[in-house]
Amino acid sequence: MIQHVDAAVTALIGSALPGEVDVRLDRPGAAPVSVFLHRVEEDVAARAASWTDELDERGRVVARSLPPRRYRFCYAVTASAEDTLVEHARLGAVLDTLAGLLHVPLEYLPPPLRSGPPIDLDVAHPALAGLPAELWAGFGVPPRTFLDVVLSVTLTPKVAAPLAAPPGEVDLGVRGGTPSPRPALDSEPPRHRIRE
């Protein structure tokens, strides 16, 4: 899943840049345009509370699947150049393209993501989690301007909870055919012995 989202975001960002600017999934400062996945979080507010029933051809419930879940993939997009204006021009081109989109266009999605629900796209939203300050020291580069690009993807868990098998036929030893003979009506009922 993550590798497919990576492919989608790099293809989309690459399409926004003029010429042949190198776009790579890497830490900030490692490429002319770096795309760094710094956070994956579930959108718990979008989580459904109920299971999904799977029915057989007779309409009986044979399994229950977990409800779909939404995950936010948070990317920090940075540009590196000797001139700060060049860096800002590259980020500006990305912002210009992505700001007009609500979803990632289908042509940028790898096949595994094309059959699911649309993938939402947010750029520089103030409520989105930014890049933690302590990461910059770990990257070995000073803090720089970046765009927070977030793709929200719906994931349907493949694990299903099987239910108990429907009841089968049980042999009780009763057979059809000739019924057993009944006792004669004029026979005396059994007598009970009385003990003193």
Which residues constitute the domain of residue 13? Answer: 2-162
146-177 confidence digits (pLDDT tens): 899 999 988 876 655 555 555 556 666 666 66
Task: Please report whether residue 167 resides in a domain.
Answer: no
60 contacts: CB under 8 Å, gap ≥ 6: 166
The verdict on residue 30 lying in a domain is: yes
pTM of the shown model:
0.71
Residue 151: which of 40, 26, 67, 22 has the closest Cα?
40
Domain count of the fold of the chain: 1
Beginning with the edge strand found earlier in the chain, give each strand of the sheet holding 61-65 in spatial order: 52-55, 61-65, 160-162
pLDDT digits (tens, 9 = 90+) for 3-60: 999 999 999 999 999 888 889 999 888 889 999 998 888 877 766 666 677 778 888 8
Q: Evaluate whether residue 89 is within a structural domain.
A: yes
Q: Is residue 40 part of a domain?
A: yes
**Calpha distance 183→164 (Å, rounded):** 45
161-164's contacts with Cβ under 8 Å and 24+ in sequence apart are 161/51, 161/63, 161/64, 161/65, 161/66, 162/62, 162/63, 163/61, 163/62, 163/63, 163/64
In a domain, 190, yes or no: no
Flag whether 171 is in a domain: no
Look at residue 189 and tell me if it is in a domain: no
User: Considering the domain boundaries, does residue 108 fall inside one?
Assistant: yes
Give residues with Cβ within 8 angstroms of 3, minimum separation 6. Answer: none
